[in-house]
Structure 1
Amino acid sequence: MFVLDAYGQPLDPCHPARARRLLAAGRAVVARHTPFVIRLRDRAAANSTMQGAQVGIDPGSRHTGIAVFAERDANRTGLYSIQLDHRGGAIRDKLTVRSQYRRRRRSKNLRYRAPRFLNRTKPKGWLAPSLKHRVDTTMSWVSRLTRWAPITAVHVEKVAFDTHTLSAGRPLEGVEYQQGTLYGYEAREYLLAKWSRKCAYCGATDTPLNIDHIHPRSRGGSDRISNLCVACIGCNQAKNATSVEVFLADRPKVLARVLAQAKTPLRDAAAVNSTRWTLWWALTGTGLSVATSSGGRTKWNRSRTGAPKAHTLDALHVGDLDTVSAWPHTVLVVTATGRGTYARTRTDKYGFPRLALPRTKTIRGFQTGDLVRAIVPSGKKAGVHTGRVAIRSTGSFNIRTRNGLVQGIHHRHVGLLQRADGYGYATHPETRHCAAFPPGSEEPGFHTGGNR
């Protein structure tokens, strides 16, 4: 749990059991509901000895993993795990709809407008709103974590895949990548993600996959990433040095799919690579120590510690480390939901306004998206309901809880827990152990890891 001193300055995080004892003894109060933050009444940061914490970031196109951990002598202990779900797809769809509305108005000559075609330019470093959103939300949570914990350093994957290792004839700089322990990890991980971890020819899953040349090298094929795929052992041996056109002659649909998918870049990797420099510059602007690493190094670290694949565990394994002793068993899933809309109307399929919304967003002191707890004493809806509220002008609200939607809760039964901040919160268990670490071997509240 995150801990603040009496003046709101961050202290070292503590175990949930200790936080409960401090709250029960009256030495602490709740400063924030989600993520849970307590504030001590009788301690100042100036009188405390702190070890500090660090943040690991695994940027992704749809999900970004964030891990808060303590590190001592290259041994990391996970303290808090966050999976940040982006809404770049929703932003792209809304911009597409808006452009369609505008295109119709221009073509219909509904009003005079000076012609604009090629006279609009974009500044250097411009990112599409759906991409900039990924950087903004990641930086927002890094800023929040620095307010709740004594963060001293940030470790981030600068690229999803090291493009140097994916191009033939372009050796990496530095002794570490010269046919060293990371050799081959970048290309293999890229191909597994691109082909969805299944055989390109038969679609087999949960089986060992080999890297195969679509056009064999003996027939003039290159080692470029666009000429590689993953294939199961049976298909790889059956194809051998045969041309892909001959091997799939009796399956023309599969042949067309393989050739098309080989030329298609990995879209998620392209989105991450487009934002890597912007995110790095933003992180360096925080004044924290920023260390970068590649996705291949992260996978290599996980293979050494025996950790399973997960966004938050990838964030915990970013950069230079020797061992990982433990990680939290619960992940906070933070979904970017936005803060509503400025528009006070709803349009039909033709773009004409048909439904007028209330001109004010606050009803009885609540706004849609606030985290509330409703205690209903009697009736069909009697009980305690905790979740996100949807306000109504009548004062009868709807609350979406973990168990579903509860409608028609009167505002007098509703109490505010936390203001809407543009994010939705949920939790799920962290990925279980590999076979080397049975479930009974962990400390309560944490998964244990170690070297293989």
Structure 2
Amino acid sequence: MTKNYAFVIDKNGKSLAPTNINKAWILIRKKKATLANKYPMLIQLNYEVEEDKQECQFICGIDDGSNHVGIAIVQKCKTRNKAVFKGTIEQRKDVKGLIDTRRGYRRYKRSHKRYRQPRFDNRSSSTRKGRVAPSILQKKEAIIRVINKLKKWINITEFHLEDVAIDIRALTEGKKLYKWQYQKSNRLDENIRKAVILRDKCKCMECAKSNCMLEVHHIVPKRLQGANSLSNLITLCSKCHDKTKGIEEKYIEHYQKMIDGNNVRFDYAQHVMQGKTWLRKELSKLGKLILSTGGDTANKRIDWNIEKSHSNDAIVVADLKVNNDECDIKDWIIKPMRRKSKTKVEELKGFRHRDLVKYTKRNGESYIAYITALYPNKKQCNMTTIEGKVLKRYGVKPLKLLWRFNKIYWF
């Protein structure tokens, strides 16, 4: 049976050791505690606790990633260790698009101003040393936001972070290279276009024409995050290139077989590596920081017979041997949301934007979702379920409020 723990604080807000969620409800029914937060559960005792009787230490393990981040808290006791919290942070993916949209608005506005001399290199924030791109920085800030929230509820003294050191060249080649192979260039020419044409012997790989205008074609198009690398580029004549426009997906497998190529995405790996120095610096301010490696995580997970997942990897990163049974706890899905809300309607029938609700249909089927839009004229709303399904124009009458939104979603 999956266990679930509740965080505990005393009357003065001092964090104590977590307790089983059933015991927490018993304390609430006996009026010895009150419910301070429902997701995740936090109870506040009605009395002051001078000292925590359990001599234990709480260690936070973090399995950093670009799209998903595993986070776990392991309790180190004298007799045994146990995981008291684990979850997966789902990072936002819309930041770059929002920044691009804002850039477009700014450029449009400036182009319609009265003429002035163009200015260059006048953005001090963009040229400062140690700057992290906003799309990457917000992912690291989301991790810190979640940890700061957890630190209010539990006394975390130590952080274990899996150090990210990804071999981009090995990803490109599809294998681990030896020392001297790293010094040997994998480019046929300093210009990627020339390199592709030279590799394909200056002819179209589709129709074999050579005495014509040659084009270098992205097998997986850039709009689908296709890499600008030799393994994702092929030489085509203008006629063959034109026939692929708009339907590039149909030719991906065909062209990859021709050059024995593949499309390896480097952006996820690079995003984690580019922001890791900033994350280390911020975690060091919150407590003692210890780094580990992905190889150690994999080996320990196998030795301890723990199922692979982002949150379970975070338990292993904490470097406290935990039995497989102790890992069978509630696995939270954590979604840090943007702080500013653009909603124009404050409240409708007691419901607010971003509230977590339960919608029950007439046939008994129900959804757990959060409100994304409110329409007061027709008493309707838009919702997004935990699984990501979008529900549009649903009436608010069958809604039941589960919990009022507070900066971070915990599912």
* TM-score in terms of structure 1 length: 0.62
Q: Call closer, same or farther: CA 1:74–1:28 in 2, change over 3 Å.
A: closer
The reply to whether residue 40 of structure 1 matches residue 45 of structure 2 is: yes
Residue in structure 1 matching 2:123, options 109, 113, 120: 120
Once the two structures are superposed, the pairs formed by residues 176-187 of structure 1 within 5 Å of their partners are none
Once the two structures are superposed, the pairs formed by residues 186-335 of structure 1 within 5 Å of their partners are 211=175, 222=181, 253-254=256-257, 256=259, 258=261, 261=263, 266-286=266-286, 288-318=287-317, 320-324=319-323, 326-335=326-335
8 Å contact 2:146–2:336 — kept in the other structure? no
Once the two structures are superposed, the pairs formed by residues 33-432 of structure 1 within 5 Å of their partners are 33-46=38-51, 48-72=53-77, 76-87=81-92, 89-107=93-111, 109-112=112-115, 115-121=118-124, 122-161=127-166, 211=175, 222=181, 253-254=256-257, 256=259, 258=261, 261=263, 266-286=266-286, 288-318=287-317, 320-324=319-323, 326-342=326-342, 358=344, 361-362=346-347, 366-372=351-357, 387-389=369-371, 390-394=373-377, 396-398=379-381, 400=383, 405=391, 407-410=394-397, 417-421=403-407, 423-426=408-411
> Shift of residue 10 of structure 1?
1.2
CA distance in 1, matches of 2:146, 2:303: 29
Which moves more between the two structures, 313-322 or 295-304? 313-322
8 Å contact 1:154–1:290 — kept in the other structure? yes
Q: Call closer, same or farther: CA 1:105–1:257 in 2, change over 3 Å.
A: farther
Q: Call closer, same or farther: CA 1:364–1:408 in 2, change over 3 Å.
A: closer
8 Å contact 2:159–2:318 — kept in the other structure? no
> Shift of residue 311 of structure 1?
0.6
| Secondary structure of the corresponding residue to residue 82 of structure 1 | strand
CA deviations 1:412-442 (Å, max 9, x no partner) are x865732341x3333xxxxxxxxxxxxxxxx
CA deviations 1:36-81 (Å, max 9, x no partner) are 1122224525364452321100111011000011124796421111
| Secondary structure of the corresponding residue to residue 181 of structure 2 | coil
Equivalent residue number for residue 201 of structure 2: none
| Secondary structure of the corresponding residue to residue 124 of structure 1 | coil
Q: One-letter code of the match for 1:222?
A: Q
CA distance in 2, matches of 1:9, 1:117: 53
CA deviations 1:140-181 (Å, max 9, x no partner) are 1111111111212111113254x6xx88xxxxxxxxxxxxxx
Q: Call closer, same or farther: CA 1:316–1:137 in 2, change over 3 Å.
A: same
Q: One-letter code of the match for 1:268?
A: Y
| Secondary structure of the corresponding residue to residue 142 of structure 1 | helix
| Secondary structure of the corresponding residue to residue 57 of structure 1 | strand
CA deviations 1:262-299 (Å, max 9, x no partner) are xx66321211111111001101112x121111222211
> Shift of residue 399 of structure 1?
6.8
- For structure 2, the 5+ residue unaligned runs are 1-5, 187-230, 232-253
Root-mean-square deviation (CA), in Å?
3.9
> Shift of residue 339 of structure 1?
3.7
User: How many corresponding residue pairs?
Assistant: 333
> Shift of residue 84 of structure 1?
0.3
8 Å contact 1:158–1:280 — kept in the other structure? no
CA distance in 1, matches of 2:41, 2:185: 47
CA deviations 1:155-212 (Å, max 9, x no partner) are 1113254x6xx88xxxxxxxxxxxxxxxxxxx7xxx5xx79xxxx7xxxxxxxxxx58
8 Å contact 1:291–1:319 — kept in the other structure? no
* Percent of residue pairs bearing the same amino acid type: 24
> Shift of residue 366 of structure 1?
4.8
CA distance in 1, matches of 2:259, 2:301: 36
CA distance in 2, matches of 1:73, 1:34: 29
CA distance in 1, matches of 2:121, 2:155: 49
| Secondary structure of the corresponding residue to residue 315 of structure 1 | helix
Q: Call closer, same or farther: CA 1:27–1:297 in 2, change over 3 Å.
A: same
Which moves more between the two structures, 21-30 or 306-315? 21-30
CA distance in 1, matches of 2:260, 2:352: 49
Q: One-letter code of the match for 1:64?
A: V
CA distance in 2, matches of 1:366, 1:128: 36
8 Å contact 1:68–1:80 — kept in the other structure? yes
| Secondary structure of the corresponding residue to residue 44 of structure 1 | coil
> Shift of residue 364 of structure 1?
6.5
Q: One-letter code of the match for 1:316?
A: I
> Shift of residue 138 of structure 1?
0.4
Equivalent residue number for residue 233 of structure 1: none
CA deviations 1:275-332 (Å, max 9, x no partner) are 111001101112x121111222211221221222211111111154455452134311
CA distance in 1, matches of 2:265, 2:79: 36
| Secondary structure of the corresponding residue to residue 12 of structure 1 | strand
- For structure 1, the 5+ residue unaligned runs are 168-186, 201-210, 228-244, 246-250, 343-356, 427-452
CA distance in 1, matches of 2:99, 2:260: 30
| Secondary structure of the corresponding residue to residue 148 of structure 1 | coil
Residue in structure 2 matching 1:20, options 7, 25, 43: 25
Q: Call closer, same or farther: CA 1:372–1:71 in 2, change over 3 Å.
A: same
Q: One-letter code of the match for 1:266?
A: F
